Structure 1
Amino acid sequence: MILEKKSGYRKNFSLSVTFIVLISILFILSLFLAFNYSKKSIENEFVSEKVNVLEQSIKPYNEFFQNKMPEVSYYNGFLDSSTASKFVDTVVLKYPFISKVTFYDTEVKNTPVRDGINANHLGIGPKYIYQFGKGINPDSIKLYSEDNTNSFDVSDDFNAMAYKLATFVGQLDTATVPTQEELFTNFSVVNSNDNKISYLNIPRREDLKAYKQMMMRKLNPAPIYQQDMMVFQLDPGKIKIINTRPLLYQSIKVEPMTYDPI
């Protein structure tokens, strides 16, 4: 009788040990799976939240590019050094990542220009060139004038935009109305290598038709139209990084990306 009790006790003890071991294994396995799941979830969140950080950080840039910069067109080409300076002051104050702005007071003529682009009978050239921004010496604001052409090279920035305007006019179908997207694309140039954005005020439809006529033949009297072009020099280091998830990202910084040539 005593032997049967001892045998039953041993069987129950072995079963208990087996049960405890099994529970321990399942517990450890569940911890391992939970750890992997949490790790994967955090990794996915780490990657996905980068988009939110990027969107919030470049929100001022998008606002400038989509809303503020096109305000140049509101002046219909009649900006001068004074009004351009006031416009740039508001831009630089609100968007610190803009370090300098070069303003090209431009004329579109029915006669050849010495500096700029000539396309048949259409001439596109600067009348004055000014630069504005923080730390610019007052003596260095005026860079170019028709009376003093040796003081500054018109540069590729202006010629690239003038060429786009001449090409657009040459291909223009006066019977159709260009879309706003076409106009914005053709009158803005983003130079990511030099951190520049060039923008030419969008001509009115009547002006574009006149440019087409001026390109095709000599008009009498020879008309002169005004255009405004601005080149915004950007400083990416001045873009404020907004960390929307400080518990997820300990630090965020902007670094230039370089690629080795193939």
Structure 2
Amino acid sequence: MALDKKSGYRKNFSLGVTFIVLISILFILSLFLAFNFSKKSIENEFVSEKVNVLEQSIKAYNDFFQNKMPEISYYNGFLDSATAAKFVDTVTIKYPFISKVTFYDTEVKNIAVKDGMNVGNLSIGPKSIFQFGKTVDPDSIKLFSEYDTRSFKVGDDFNAMAYKLVTFVDQLDTAAVPTQEELFTNFSVVKSNKITYLNIPRREDLKIYKDMMRRKLDPLPVYQQDMLVFQLDPNKIKVI
């Protein structure tokens, strides 16, 4: 009888120990799972907030790029130094990350130009070049004119955009209508610290540009284009 009690006690003790060990394992496992779940939840929340901060921080940049900059095309190439200065004033006040703007008052001609790009009988060159910005000295606003080329040399920004224009015109299918995405892509150059934008000509003008590339027209046409180079300062983008 005593042996039976002793044996029963041992069994109960073993079951108790097993139960405690099992509970301990389950408790540790639940803590581990809870920790991983909390960690994952915090990471997801952090990523979500980081995306929200990024979206809010670049909201002004996207607004400028998608809405304000294309307004240049509304002028149909007839910006001058005065209207360009007003446009730039508005832009730099609303978008502080734009540090300086260079304005190329440009002509597309059917005769060769000295400063610019000549492809076939199509030529693209600036009549004058101006720069605007809070840090620009008033004496340095005008950089170039076709009558006085000593102060400035037409550089890479202009040539890169002019090359995109002539390439687009050369490959243009005059029977098809270019999409807005195609036009925007071919009339802008985006880099990390600057954006170059050329006003988008009308479809009829693009057809004439293509004709001008192939032959001399009579009378010799001259078309106005506006090219602006926006210098960007990423440090001025406000993190929200």
Report if TM-score (shorter chain) is over 0.5.
yes
- 1 CA distance for matches of 2:145 and 2:100? 19
In structure 1, what is the equivalent of residue 221 of structure 2?
A: 223
SS in 1 for 2:150: helix
- How many residue pairs get matched? 240
**Equivalent residue for 2:115?**
115
Which residue number in structure 2 is paired with residue 39 of structure 1?
39
Residue matched to 1:199:
197
The Cα RMSD (Å) is 2.2
Partners of 1:22 and 1:120 lie apart in 2 by 87
SS at match of 2:43: helix
CA distance in 2, matches of 1:234, 1:177: 33
SS in 2 for 1:43: helix
Q: What displacement does 1:59 show?
A: 1.6
Q: 1:129 is paired with a residue of what secondary structure?
A: strand
After TM superposition, the score normalised by the length of structure 2 is 0.91
2:209 match: 211
TM-score by length of 1: 0.83
Gaps of 5+ in 1: 243-262
Partner of 1:184: 184
Deviations 1:198-231 (A, max 9, x none): 0000001111122122222112221111000000
Spell out the pairing of 1:66-85 with structure 2 (5 A cutoff). 66-85=66-85
Counterpart-to-counterpart distance in 2, 1:3 and 1:214: 115
C-alpha displacement of 1:44? 3.5
- Higher mean alpha-carbon deviation, 231-240 vs 43-52, is at 43-52
Task: Check 1:112–1:9 CA distance in 2 against 1; reply closer, same or farther (3 A cut).
Answer: same
**Rounded Cα–Cα distance in structure 2 between residues aligned with 1:178 and 1:22:** 71
Structure 2 letter corresponding to 1:218: K
Q: How does 1:148-187 map to 2 (within 5 A)?
A: 148-187=148-187
Task: Determine the structure 2 residue equivalent to 1:140.
Answer: 140
- After TM superposition, the structure 1 stretch with the greater mean CA deviation from structure 2, 39-48 or 169-178, is 39-48
User: Identity, % of aligned pairs?
Assistant: 82
